[in-house]
Amino acid sequence: MVDKALSRQEFKCNSIDQIEEVAGQILKFASGINIWLFEGEMGAGKTTLIKAICKQLNVEDTVNSPTFSIVNEYQNNSGSTFYHFDFYRIKEEEEAIEIGVYEYFDSGNLCFIEWPSKIENLLPEKVLKIDISVTGKEQRSIEICRYE
């Protein structure tokens, strides 16, 4: 991934009630990018934001963190497929290669990745990076950057 973002945007989320609005804005900003990286400390709201994004995409499946399965597959009511990864528990990038991470990335489907730093060397250059910072009990700062 290149050092400089092509463009960036920041959102302040003062309560969980605003998360769906932010999800809609992220979808507009991310147009044309299929690999989305979610950064943030444990409990920052990565999975919560992914759930809100999936709701905006009309995903019918139950969205939850694939902490133990590493990847979950979801579909929406139009038949589109989305992949949700959680690499928190992997110890080496080889584990991601073994599950076929490149095939997922090359599928053209949206891929939501929690803990992307665990597979940093495997990531393509064209990504959307979403940094979530805890700024209060329910408050979050969400910065999104396009890298191409």
pTM reported for the whole predicted model: 0.93
Q: Which of 18, 112, 100, 99 is nearest to 64 (CA)?
A: 112
pLDDT interval class at 15 (50, 70, 90)? confident
Number of C-beta neighbours around residue 79 at 10 A: 6
pLDDT in tens, 31-65: 999 999 999 999 999 999 999 999 999 999 999 98
Cα–Cα separations (whole angstroms), residue 23 to 46, 55, 68: 12, 9, 25
pLDDT in tens, 69-95: 899 999 999 999 999 999 999 999 999
